[in-house]
Structure 1
């Protein structure tokens, strides 16, 4: 693993554990086992590092989701695979995924961060849902829905389930599976 990647992994873990405000560049350097100046060299400042940490997690998530969706026979199945892959990614990355919860444009953890910069990356996830909804409407597996609104509602259901599991005492076993079933029931023709 390169020094840059070690710094990024340390930042993701620390942001997930302590949040943006509770994480310092010095903590990141110590966790990564590098000189403090190297963190600044690669990422500039904490805000830029935070954004890169979130963006790279979304890129990794999307890569896996798209790979998983290659086997989808229709739009409804593609949406289901998307939801399952997204939710599975959160559990597989339990130690670092809270970074995405904290850098979400829907989060109040960092009121001073540029929500536009953050939102652009999250829109890639929502756009992927839109593409699959359009596919399902075209192939007849998904009822006619307002695509943009419906994609946002699906994303909101997933985010709500994840936040409930990760941040509250209400995360019941099976919540992710029920979220998948709810979305499927809502879309199925």
Structure 2
């Protein structure tokens, strides 16, 4: 099925903001990438700030759906964390040219003046809440040692974001970093029987 013009604009905005950042990307560039008129971009999305938020939130919603599916049926809390991370990294790879918009439109990044940081933080609450749920489940089922749930969820998410930023936004060699990040988090969380959670 062919993309609508609105969908084409969102994809183009994700590419432009993801590659260039908020300041350097222009609405004119987005219109050119989407092969639509400048006025049509403004008609659908209003200001540049609104377009930036729409582009970031569209990517977030797609990722949220993927993560939700990945953690619906898990054998343990630790399995849930591993599936969450695997799905997150796979989604990143599938959307390499557009995913950086989500890194830029994030409470874990520098927020542009005029962007509603509280609204962005609320959108991102799913990412942390789902990790907290898996950590809580893992502590209850014994697969994860006894840890502070919210801080642990934030640390896991920080590891994910750091790996993605290193892969997509830096010149550093990062082959295998996603797999090693999953292994590192797993080693850090895993409960060792007979050691009283230590």
Q: Same fold (TM over 0.5)?
A: yes
Q: CA deviation at 1:111?
A: 4.4
1:174 aligns with 2:176: yes
Q: Distance in 1 between matches of 2:173 and 2:166?
A: 5
- Which runs of no fewer than 5 residues in structure 1 stay unpaired? none
Per-residue CA distance 1:83-111 (angstroms, 9 max, x = gap):
11111111111000111111122222624
RMSD: 1.4
Q: Name 2:30's counterpart in structure 1.
A: 28
Q: Distance in 2 between matches of 1:172 and 1:29?
A: 33
Could you say what secondary structure the match of 1:129 adopts? helix
Q: TM-score, normalised by structure 1?
A: 0.94
- Which runs of no fewer than 5 residues in structure 2 stay unpaired? 192-198
Q: Name 2:75's counterpart in structure 1.
A: 73
Check the 8 A contact 1:20/1:109 in 2, yes or no.
no
Q: Name 1:137's counterpart in structure 2.
A: 139
Q: Name 1:158's counterpart in structure 2.
A: 160
Q: Radius of gyration: which is bigger?
A: 2
Per-residue CA distance 1:94-143 (angstroms, 9 max, x = gap):
00011111112222262442322221112211111011111111111111
Q: Which residue of 92, 114, 120 maps to 1:90?
A: 92
The structure-2 alpha-carbon separation of the partners of 1:50 and 1:112, relative to structure 1 and needing over 3 Å to count, comes to same
The count of residues paired between Structure 1 and Structure 2 equals: 189
Q: TM-score, normalised by structure 2?
A: 0.90
Q: CA deviation at 1:70?
A: 2.8
